[in-house]
Structure 1
Amino acid sequence: MATSAVQSSYAEEEEHRVASKAARLRRIEHRLYNAPEGLRVSDLARDCGVTRRTIYRDLEALESMGVPIWEDSGRFGINRATYLSTIRLNLNETVALYFAARLLAHHSDEHNPHTVSALDKLAAGMPAGTVAEHIARVADLVRERPVRTAYVRILEVLTLAWAEQRMVRLRYRAPNRELTERDVAPYFIEVSRSAPAAYVIGHDRLRAAIRTFKIERIETAELLDESYTVPTDFDPYAFLARAWGVMDETEVEVQVRFSARVAPQIRESLWHHSQRLTELANGGCELVMTIGGIREVLPWILGWGADAEVLAPPALCAEVQAHARRMVALYDGGQAS
C-alpha cells in the first residue's frame, strides 16, 4: 500500500513537472516573439523563476520543436519571418476558420501566396475528410487568380511595419490626384466589407493627422528605421464604428425606405450596428443608420435598384437621382443631364 502511494505521488510530481515545463516553454516562446531586440538568458531565468542552465535547455528544446531561435551577442530571439506558431483547433473551430477562408476567397480578387500557404497548412493539419478537402479547394481557388507581385510586396512591407511599429514611406496616388510621398505610422490594417480592398490606417506626417490609405493605390512602400508608438487613446474599432466600410467621414443619418419585395432580406441582416428598423403597413420597412459619410453606402443603396428610396440626407438622395438619370440616358441612348 505504501509503495503504491509513493508511486502515485511520484507520478503526480512527474506530471506536474512536465506540465510546468510545457507552460514555461510557451512563456519563453511568447516572450521572445514579442521582444524584437532579443532577451538575455538571465532575463528569461528571472522571469520564469529557474536557473540559467534550465533556460539554455529550454531554448534547445524550442529549437528541436522547430522554433527559429537566433542568438546575437548574448541575446536570444525568434526569427519572425520564418516563425510558425503552434495552434491546436477542434473540428468546430476549424470550420469557423473555413468560413473565414471562404469569405476571404469571395472577397479577394488576386492570388496572395501567403493566403494560399496559410490555407494549405490549415488543410494539411486536419484529418483527411470533407472539411480538409474543401479548405484545400479554397486554396486552389485563390491560387488560380492572377498574381500582383507589387501589391503582395507592398502588403508585406506594411505588415512588417505594423507588427514592429516602424514608420513606412509610401508613394500614394489617390484618384484624380498627383502622386504624393507620405511617411506613415501604420496603426491598423483593415479589409473593407463592401469591396475587395484592403486599407492601412495610420498617422500621416504630411497631413499631421490620421488618414486611411487604400493599399491598391500605393505604388511603393519603403520600411524605415524610425519607430513609433500607437497612442493609447487610439482604438481602431471605435475609429471604424461609424464607417459603412472603412472611410470615417462626417457623421450623417441615412434613412432608406425598402419595398415589400426586398424587406425580408433587409430584416434578416444586421447592416450596421447603429441601425433602427421600422415596419411599414404595406409590408416594406424603413432603415435608419448613423454612419460616417455617404460615399461608401451609395453603391450598396444603388444595388437595391427601385426597391430602395433614399429619404435622407438630401445629398445622398441627390446622388442616387443623378445616377438614375445617367442610367436612363445610357439605356435610352440619350444624353445624361
Structure 2
Amino acid sequence: MARNEQLIRQHKLLQLLEYSHFGRTLDELRGDLVLDLGLTNLHERTVRRDVEALQAAGFDIQNETVERGKVYKLGQNNKGVHEVGLSASEMIALSIGRELLYPLVGTQYWRGIETFWNKVQEAVPDGVFDHYSRYRKTLHVFGGPSKSYENHEGMLKTINRAIVEHRVVEVEYESVGKPASTRRIEPYGLAVYQSSIYVVAAAPEVTEPSERLRNWKLDRFRHATALDEYFKPDPSIELSKHLGKSIGIFSGEDPTMVQIRLGQRAAAYVREDPWHPEQKLESHEDGSTMMTIPASHPREVLPKVLSLGADAEVISPPIFREAVAEAVQKMAASYAASSV
C-alpha cells in the first residue's frame, strides 16, 4: 500500500511542477499534494524524498533560491515531452469529446482535459489549427448538461484516492425524499451516466453478493471521509459488465427482461436511437413491434415509455406494467382535475 501511495504522490508532483512556471517550494508542494490527493497529513521530508527519487529516475527537476525560499521546477530537458502531431479531424474529435465532458467542469478531471487541450493547440502547426477552426464551425454539440461537479471536487479527490487504495469511505448520503444518513461504502469506480457522476461501491452491511454493489449518485453526497480501514476488492467484479446489464443506472446481477409493445412510429424511433445494445425487436403482422430489453428497476423504463406516449405499452412483467399504469393514471387525474 505504501509503495502505491508513493507512486501516486510522485505522479502528482510531476503534474504540479509542470503546471508551475515559477516553481514551487517544498511546503507549497506539500500543501498542493494534501489538497489534491485528499491526504490527512504529509510531512515536508516525504515531499523532499519524492523529489529526490524523481531526480534519481532522470527527471530534470532543478531548484533555485528566490524571495519566498528554495523553489523546484522542471528544467529544459523536460520541455516538449508532451508535443503531439494531430490532424484537423483528430482535433475536431477531441474538441467534441471535450464538450461532452462539461459535467466535469471544476474537477481535477476537467483541469487535465483543459491542460491537454491547451497543449494540443500549442503543439499543432498554424495551418492545421486554421483548418480545424474552419471545419469545427460546421459541427455543433448542444443539448448537453447544465450542471457541473465543481462543488464536489474535494469529495471526488477523496473518493478517487479511496478507489485506488481500496479504502472504506464514510459518507453522508441524502436520498431524494429521505433524511441524510451516514453510510460506509467500499468504492470500486466512478461512472458518468446522462451527465451525472455515480460512485460504484459495495455496501459492507449487505451480505447477499448479488445485492452488495450499488451505484451512489454523487449529487446526494454531503460529505465523504476516507477511513484508515481497507477492504479486499472482489476479483469477480467487472464494472463494465455490471454497468452494462440494464438500460439505466440501476444495475443488478440479474436484470429483468421487459417486453414493450411499440407502434410503428415508436419502433422507428427506437431503431434510430437504441435503448440498449442487447435490445431485441420482433415485428408483428399487425404493424406493431415487440421490444425485449433488460432493466433492473421500473424507474428506468418509466420515462422512456412515457416519452413515446400512447405508441408504447409495457406488456410484462406485471410490476413494470403496474408502475407505468399508476403514473399514467395520476397524470390523467391531474389533467382532469382542473383546466386553466
TM-score range, shorter chain: 0.5 to 0.7
Partner of 1:155: 156
Alignment of 1:1-337 (within 5 A): 35-36=7-8, 59-61=57-59, 63=61, 86=82, 88=84, 90-91=86-87, 92-105=89-102, 108=103, 111-114=105-108, 116-124=110-118, 125-126=120-121, 127=124, 128-129=129-130, 131=132, 149-192=150-193, 195-208=194-207, 209-249=212-252, 251-333=255-337
Once the two structures are TM-superposed, the CA of residue 232 in structure 1 deviates from its matched residue by: 1.3
Name the SS of the counterpart of 2:7 in structure 1: coil
Q: How many residue pairs align between the two structures?
A: 262
State how far apart, in whole Å, the 2-side matches of 1:151 and 1:36 are: 21
Q: Distance in 2 between matches of 1:131 and 1:246?
A: 36
* CA–CA distance in structure 2, aligned partners of residues 117 and 179 of structure 1: 31
The one-character-per-residue Cα deviations of 1:127-149 (angstroms, maximum 9, x if unpaired) are: 333646969x999x99x966665
**1:220 partner SS:** strand
> What root-mean-square deviation, in Å, do the aligned CA atoms of Structure 1 and Structure 2 show?
3.8
Between the aligned partners of 2:106 and 2:140, the Cα distance in structure 1 is 13
Cα separation, partners in 2 of 1:317 and 1:232, compared to 1, 3 Å: same
Distance, in Å, in 2 between the alignment partners of 1:99 and 1:282 is 42
TM-score in terms of structure 2 length: 0.64
Evaluate the alpha carbon distance shift between residue 89 and residue 316 of structure 1 in structure 2; reply closer, same or farther with a 3 A threshold: farther
How has the CA–CA distance of structure 1 residues 298 and 168 changed in structure 2, closer, same or farther, with 3 Å as cutoff?
same
Distance 1:60 1:112, change over 3 A: same
C-alpha deviations, 1:193-237, integer Å up to 9, x for none?
Answer: xx4321111222243533321111111001223333422111112
1:243 and 1:87 map into 2 onto residues whose CA distance is 41
How far off its partner does 1:159 sit?
A: 1.9
The structure with the largest alpha-carbon Rg is 1
Identity of aligned residues (%): 22
Mapped partners of 1:146, 1:273: distance in 2: 28
Is contact 1:119–1:138 with CA below 8 Å preserved after alignment? no
Q: Which has the higher contact order (CA 8 A, sep 6+)?
A: 2
Normalising by structure 1, we get a TM-score of 0.64
Structure 1 gaps, min length 5: 1-30, 39-54, 65-84
Native 8 Å contact 1:123 1:132 kept in 2: no
Q: Distance in 1 between matches of 2:322 and 2:83?
A: 51
2:275 aligned partner, one-letter code = W
The answer (yes or no) to whether the contact 1:255–1:289 under 8 Å persists in 2 is yes
Cα deviation code 1:42-80 (max 9, x no counterpart): xxxxxxxxxxxxx9876343547xxxxxxxxxxxxxxxx
Structure 2, gaps ≥5 residues long: 11-52, 63-80
